[in-house]
Structure 1
């Protein structure tokens, strides 16, 4: 069996097993770890070690995950009880955190989370979605139909980062 056939089979299996639901308080630790590990192991491709350590500090609770995830529409993708991705939609159309587990990159998890977010945005009668994305996430959001509004430099915990403001009309 060719590698591409195995990859397609894995994507189809994962897509058939994934369930998506709204955030629950019990999800906070898994989400914090998923965020940390994804930034440290995936985003390192596009950012320096210092940048990823500033972005995802050693203290995974640098952010009050329960408070933040509960204050917006946070969708959790999970497979057999393990959280494999999450995305946050604010009521104004801003997508905040959007991450897929480091072991589930390129398997369609993000696409499924995005579809749920877009469906919710339409239910809320929003006319656009907007997001600030990393260099790493830019191609994904372009595939989802987002356009680059501007490239920008932001600072986080003393480190400067390039990211992109993107938007999509609904």
Structure 2
């Protein structure tokens, strides 16, 4: 399987919207518990027009994953380092697509000079973020009525080493 990651384009919005809607409704049942009101609230803004606007927003870095030419995943990160979403289609779960999307966001965040990333995870994705080096923090109520878990990841492993002090060195 070949995974291609590229910047999201407006013509990706329809397929990306389908990935979002299917992933949420089919894979995130631990979160929405098949509650019609929660599901309706969560899916309410997942329309092609809204997704197009997210892709077009200068404040966002939006990417898609394609496998064999088919859109299989979508991720968006703000330029301040908040991962807004990272979803893969139900049939693409556990194939490494989410991990490649996440690594691409992390690389871009580092290029932007960010030292940390933050994401409010679903219960469904909790183990995914933990496996990928994100540290679990507090819980947070989402706008659509589910409980999320705030995760953070430090992107810089360590601070650069200081040059040794030569204060006591003999002058030549």
- RMSD over aligned CA atoms reads 1.6
Counterparts of 2:79 and 2:141, CA distance in 1: 25
State the match for 2:70 in structure 1: 82
Contact 1:40 1:53 in 2 (8 A): no
| Structure 2 gap segments, 5+ residues each | 156-172
TM-score (norm. length: structure 1) = 0.83
Counterparts of 1:116 and 1:52, CA distance in 2: 29
Which of 53, 68, 90 in structure 1 is aligned with 2:54? 68
Q: Structure 1 residue runs of 4+, over 6 Å off?
A: none
State the number of aligned residues.
151
State the match for 1:92 in structure 2: 80
1:60 and 1:152, CA in 2 relative to 1: closer, same or farther beyond 3 A?
closer
| Structure 1 gap segments, 5+ residues each | 1-13
Counterparts of 1:106 and 1:45, CA distance in 2: 17
Residue 122 in 1 paired to residue 110 in 2?
yes
- Cα deviation for residue 63 of structure 1 reads 6.2
TM-score (norm. length: structure 2) = 0.82
Which of 28, 41, 45 in structure 2 is aligned with 1:54? 41
